């Protein structure tokens, strides 16, 4: 029988196969096929997680202490049986995990001692930084259905079956093939490959892009991401709330949504959280007159220099055209009397190097939820511990506003302990008042695949598990 190969089209290369370092969409897509977490994300908000590498849900052993027994019959891709010690050692090396709990192995149980209250600690153990990794011979091995082939490159990453996986996948091989955007940033090569039958699957296109496709099946689902205009609150002038509010009120979010969506109202952001995580009005209604008044009131605090706007290096589910949006925002701020220079980046390395060093006044990027807990999204984008730095190269450093607020950190901690609607509303209201960032667009989760791909079901978080699919001629 001929081997089945699933060809996945991507717009950026696979930059790393280390789950503790992955920050880009393409790398994460590949890693989700190779590594597993102790729990799986629930199918909907509020529902329980299902154990994957554990044989049971978390069992309380005392105040802020939990444990679970590892599932027997789990093997790494070199045939090594997974033990509680493997799980504990792997988790203890993940910085975001160490900030939340201490872990140890006790016989065949893994014991967790929480450092702060968390009513949904099981969701932490479903996040990608909790992937269980075996470091062996300079390689990172996983327990997932696939493993990287030796001849993989960033531009063409081959994933082959893990021979020791507990349930062999129907698809023998997955190839993530790079189709770089054209000079205008459009995915013309990828859409052509899909129409020609050279690519079988993608989840990186925009609604505008898939509208052109005729020979594939198309899915559009509510998104789990938000495009964000960040203001670097460490920069002179931008450390003043009046200046930030003026800038926020000068940006017409509805017009930005109209660039990409016929139903702009559904995608124009009204608060930081994507709709699947909650709905709220942040009060940042387009008002150029009020913006000018606020900037005048700021007096000498108004920035008197040209400001830099750092652009993320390629299209994202939440931001189909970074440069197009950047140019529009620059024109709106120009009308306010602020001169803005766009700073494009050509690749992940250049972009994240600037982000980590804080070399920007503004940044145009966004955030994709990796859990259905709103606090995780808010923590990653607003928490002081999520401010990027050269020393903090983790997947959770999403506070590009570099906003360090003890009051916000306290509100996040309380919301983590008491996930109440009124506390969340108060927190989001504070974000609108302080305006360290402006939520712009909600991203749709878009899939396109060949008709011969069977078994695909959209995920609320935009994930794709290729081991659950099959290819039929």
Two domains, one topology: 39-134 and 222-444? no
Global pTM? 0.79
Per-residue model confidence as pLDDT tens for the chain (473 residues): 568 999 999 998 999 999 888 878 899 999 999 999 999 988 776 778 899 999 999 999 988 999 999 999 999 999 999 999 999 999 999 988 998 899 999 999 999 999 988 878 998 999 888 999 999 988 999 999 999 999 999 999 999 999 999 988 999 999 999 999 888 778 999 999 999 999 999 988 877 788 889 999 998 877 789 999 999 999 999 999 999 999 999 999 999 999 988 888 989 999 999 988 888 999 999 999 999 999 999 998 899 899 999 999 888 888 988 999 999 999 999 999 999 999 999 888 899 899 999 999 999 999 988 888 899 899 999 999 899 988 765 556 899 999 999 999 999 999 988 889 999 999 999 999 999 999 999 988 889 999 999 999 888 777 889 999 999 97
The domain 5-34+144-216+450-471 is placed in CATH, from the list 3.40.50.720, 3.40.190.10, 1.10.40.30, 3.40.50.980, at 3.40.190.10
CATH number for region 39-134: 3.90.76.10
Q: Are 437 and 263 in contact (CB under 8 A)?
A: no
Alpha-carbon span 380 to 400, nearest angstrom: 10
By percentage, how much of the chain surpasses pLDDT 70?
98
For the chain, the domains span: 5-34+144-216+450-471, 39-134, 222-444
Q: Are 312 and 259 in contact (CB under 8 A)?
A: no
Q: 465, exposed or middle or buried, with CB in 10 Å at 0-12, 13-18, 19+?
A: middle
The DSSP output letter for 70 is B
Other CB atoms within a 10 A radius of the CB of residue 3 amount to: 9
Alpha-carbon span 166 to 36, nearest angstrom: 13
Q: Are 215 and 195 in contact (CB under 8 A)?
A: yes
Listed in sequence order, the DSSP H helices in 158-230 are: 188-195, 207-210
Other CB atoms within a 10 A radius of the CB of residue 97 amount to: 20
DSSP 373-441: -HHHHHHHHH-GGG--BTTB-STT---TT----HHHHHHHHHHHHS--HHHHHHHHHHHHHH-SEEEEE
Q: Are 401 and 232 in contact (CB under 8 A)?
A: yes
Alpha-carbon span 51 to 37, nearest angstrom: 9
- Give 51's strand partners: 39
Q: Are 266 and 453 in contact (CB under 8 A)?
A: no
Q: Are 161 and 145 in contact (CB under 8 A)?
A: yes
Alpha-carbon span 247 to 438, nearest angstrom: 9
Q: In what order do the strands lie in the sheet with 146-148?
A: 146-148, 156-161, 173-178, 5-10, 201-202, 437-449, 217-231, 362-368, 307-311, 340-343
What's the CATH class of domain 222-444?
A: alpha beta
Tell me the Cα Rg of the chain: 22
CA dihedral sign of residues 158, 164, 170, 172: positive
> CA torsion, points 383, 385, 387, 389, in degrees to nearest 10?
-170
CA dihedral sign of residues 181, 187, 190, 195: negative
């Amino acid at each position: 029988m001929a081997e089945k190969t699933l060809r996945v089209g991507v717009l950026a290369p696979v930059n790393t196969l280390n789950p503790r370092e992955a920050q880009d969409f393409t790398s994460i897509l590949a890693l989700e096929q190779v590594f597993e977490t102790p729990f799986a994300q629930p199918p909907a908000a509020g529902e329980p997680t299902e154990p994957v590498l554990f044989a049971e849900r978390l069992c309380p052993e005392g105040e802020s202490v939990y444990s679970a027994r590892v599932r027997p019959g789990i093997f790494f891709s070199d045939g090594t049986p997974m033990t509680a010690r493997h799980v504990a050692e792997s988790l203890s090396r993940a910085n975001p995990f160490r900030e939340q709990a201490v872990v140890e192995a006790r016989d065949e149980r893994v014991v967790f001692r929480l450092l702060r209250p968390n009513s949904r600690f099981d969701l932490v153990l479903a996040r990608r930084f909790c992937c269980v990794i075996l470091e062996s011979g300079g390689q990172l091995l996983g327990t997932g259905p696939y493993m990287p082939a030796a001849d993989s490159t960033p531009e063409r990453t081959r994933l082959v079956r893990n021979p020791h996986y507990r349930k062999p996948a129907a698809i023998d091989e997955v190839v993530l093939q790079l189709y770089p955007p054209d000079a205008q940033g459009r995915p013309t090569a990828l859409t052509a490959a899909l129409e020609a039958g050279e690519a079988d699957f993608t989840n990186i296109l925009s609604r505008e892009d898939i509208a052109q496709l005729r020979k594939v099946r198309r899915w559009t689902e509510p998104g789990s991401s938000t495009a964000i205009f960040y203001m670097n609150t460490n920069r002179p002038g931008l450390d003043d709330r009046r200046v930030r509010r003026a800038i926020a009120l000068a940006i017409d979010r509805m017009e930005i949504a109209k660039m990409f969506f016929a139903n702009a109202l559904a995608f124009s952001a009204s608060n930081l959280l994507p709709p699947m995580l909650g709905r709220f009005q942040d009060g940042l209604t387009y008002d150029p007159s009020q913006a000018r008044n606020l900037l005048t009131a700021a007096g000498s605090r108004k920035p008197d220099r040209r400001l830099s706007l750092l652009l993320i290096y390629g299209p994202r589910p939440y931001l189909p055209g970074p440069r197009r949006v950047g140019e529009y925002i620059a024109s709106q701020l120009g009308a306010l009397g602020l001169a803005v220079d766009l700073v494009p980046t050509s690749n992940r390395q250049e972009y994240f190097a600037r982000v980590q060093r804080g070399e920007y006044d503004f940044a145009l990027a966004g955030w994709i939820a990796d859990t259905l807990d709103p606090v995780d999204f808010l923590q990653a984008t607003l928490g002081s511990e999520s401010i990027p730095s050269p020393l903090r190269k983790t997947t959770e450093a999403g506070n590009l506003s570099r906003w360090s607020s003890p009051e916000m950190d306290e509100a996040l901690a309380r919301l983590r302990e008491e996930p109440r609607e009124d506390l969340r509303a108060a927190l989001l209201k504070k974000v609108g008042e302080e305006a360290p960032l402006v939520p712009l667009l909600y991203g749709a989760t878009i899939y396109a695949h060949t008709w011969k791909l069977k078994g695909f079901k959209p995920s609320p978080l935009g994930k794709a598990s290729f081991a659950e699919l099959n290819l039929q001629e």
